[in-house]
């Protein structure tokens, strides 16, 4: 497909790492099992990899006329190209949210069209697809009524369909919305939350082939959860969960769901397991302040968060399928006191990785599958916004104030492959 008139891309050749950038790696704990492969000054809000571990990051600038910028680098850090849609409005700009890749190496970028500068208004939702050479395959702009509609995240399923999470106008007003697009950009369906789960916080594809959505009320005191099949049909909702902290959800291969949220006193964490119909199987409490959860291929849930409410740091617990505490590590990052926890992932060996930051550095903290501390590594600058696990080796890619690749010895970081 030819590049549309307003699509702009730039092919760039740069050296992989300069000596100055190498100095940006700031060692944290003794980390003999991790080292810097490269770091580049490209900032971003999200990172994704294709099958060859080419690295895609997306960023934006709050300036009238500015657009989302998609950067592609080779696995060795060499910049390949930068692409964007050359939007010509002098009163609007594009705020990037997420980037994902499909099986063909295309990059899907989503975000929000903003109108104005000092008090910008969320004007419309955007999703775009770029081919492996940086040419735009298609662009869709929807919810164009300047009503606060926005985009939070996008995902791609095994058939290369695209799902976009955000706010949109449904039969009951502005609510959490998921919109599905075919690989060619055709809109297939829209799901609107009618149960009141709150504003969109996150969503995930589950091993049993569905979407889990996590929402939070405007006041921040309630969470809600929903499960939707890939045809846009509601499976169940779990609204009005009191929680003064953020929460999360994750599914297993059997269709069960693990929820994490704050307890009634705002001084601990509740972990719940729901069956495939959304019925509660069990509920457990813990003193840590947990707000991320992922399920490994051992079908056990790992929760990450702070050691307790009001205390910085990286804390993790693991709970088995029956609700028993397998282990607890409430000081995984040592003296660093990590803040701004952004994302947690689990590799196929069930080691957990948390993207976070100190006051001035990006950070990744690893906890081993047995609960022991693996390592914590910091890289300047800013907080880590997102991480990705290598498909071809055990590298970890992170983005925030810069883009970096960490290499580690020993265990694989290949994505979790659920086992029946």
Taking only the tens place, the pLDDT of each residue in 105-136 is 999 999 999 998 877 888 899 999 999 999 99
Pairwise pLDDT comparison (201 vs 380), residue with the higher score: 201
> Which whole number is the average pLDDT over 297-325?
96
Give the pLDDT confidence score for residue 116 in this predicted structure: 87
Say if residue 363's pLDDT is above 60: yes
What are 142-177's pLDDT values in tens digits? 988 777 789 999 999 999 999 999 999 888 888 999
CB contact set of 90 (below 8 Å; sequence gap of 6+): 64, 65
- Rounded CA gap, 382 and 402, in Å? 8
What percent of the chain is modeled with pLDDT above 70? 90
What are the distances in angstroms from CA 196 to CA 213, 233, 277? 12, 16, 18
Give the pLDDT confidence score for residue 410 in this predicted structure: 53
Give the pLDDT confidence score for residue 170 in this predicted structure: 84
What are 57-68's pLDDT values in tens digits? 999 998 898 999
Say if residue 264's pLDDT is above 60: yes
Give the pLDDT confidence score for residue 185 in this predicted structure: 98
Q: Using pLDDT thresholds of 50, 70 and 90, give the confidence band for residue 219.
A: confident
Give the pLDDT confidence score for residue 144 in this predicted structure: 81
Give the pLDDT confidence score for residue 395 in this predicted structure: 97
Say if residue 270's pLDDT is above 90: yes
Give the pLDDT confidence score for residue 151 in this predicted structure: 96
Q: Using pLDDT thresholds of 50, 70 and 90, give the confidence band for residue 266.
A: low
Give the pLDDT confidence score for residue 27 in this predicted structure: 40
Of the listed ranges 24-33, 143-152, 250-259, 339-348, the least confidently predicted one is 24-33
């Amino acid at each position: 497909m030819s590049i549309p008139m307003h699509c702009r891309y730039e092919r760039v050749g740069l050296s992989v790492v300069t000596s100055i950038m190498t100095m940006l790696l700031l060692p944290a704990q003794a980390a003999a099992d991790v080292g810097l492969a490269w770091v580049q000054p490209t900032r971003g809000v999200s990172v994704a990899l294709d099958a060859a571990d080419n690295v895609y990051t997306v960023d934006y600038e709050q300036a009238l006329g500015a657009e989302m910028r998609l950067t592609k680098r080779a696995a060795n850090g060499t910049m390949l190209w930068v692409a964007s849609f050359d939007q010509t409005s002098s009163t609007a700009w594009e705020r990037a949210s997420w980037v994902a890749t499909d099986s063909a190496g295309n990059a899907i970028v989503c975000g929000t069209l903003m109108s104005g500068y000092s008090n910008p208004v969320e004007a419309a939702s955007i999703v775009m697809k770029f081919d492996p050479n940086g040419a735009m395959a298609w662009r869709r702009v929807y919810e164009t009524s300047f009503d606060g509609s926005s985009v939070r995240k996008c995902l791609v399923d095994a058939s290369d369909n695209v799902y976009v999470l955000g706010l949109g106008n449904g039969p009951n007003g502005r609510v959490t919305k998921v919109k599905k697009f075919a690989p060619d950009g055709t809109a297939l369906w829209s799901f609107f939350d009618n149960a009141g789960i709150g504003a969109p916080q996150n969503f995930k594809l589950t091993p049993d082939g569905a979407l889990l959505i996590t929402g939070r009320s405007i006041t921040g005191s309630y969470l809600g959860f929903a499960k939707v099949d890939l045809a846009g049909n509601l499976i169940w909702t779990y609204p009005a969960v009191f929680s003064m902290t953020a929460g999360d959800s994750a599914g297993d291969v059997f269709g069960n769901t693990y929820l994490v949220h704050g307890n009634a006193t705002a001084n601990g964490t509740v972990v719940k397991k729901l069956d495939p119909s959304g019925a509660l199987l069990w509920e457990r409490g813990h003193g840590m302040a947990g707000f991320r959860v992922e399920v490994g291929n051992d079908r056990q849930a790992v929760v990450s968060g702070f050691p307790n409410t009001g205390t910085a740091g990286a804390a993790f617990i693991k709970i088995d399928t029956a609700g028993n505490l397998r282990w607890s590590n409430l000081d995984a990052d040592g003296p660093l006191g990590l803040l701004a926890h952004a994302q947690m992932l689990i590799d196929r060996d069930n080691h957990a990785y948390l993207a976070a930051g100190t006051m001035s550095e990006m950070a990744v903290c690893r906890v081993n599958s047995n609960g022991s501390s693996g390592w914590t590594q910091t890289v300047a600058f800013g907080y880590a916004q997102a991480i990705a696990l290598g498909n071809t080796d055990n590298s970890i890619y992170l983005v925030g104030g810069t883009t970096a690749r960490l290499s580690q010895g020993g265990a694989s970081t290949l994505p979790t492959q659920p086992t029946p």
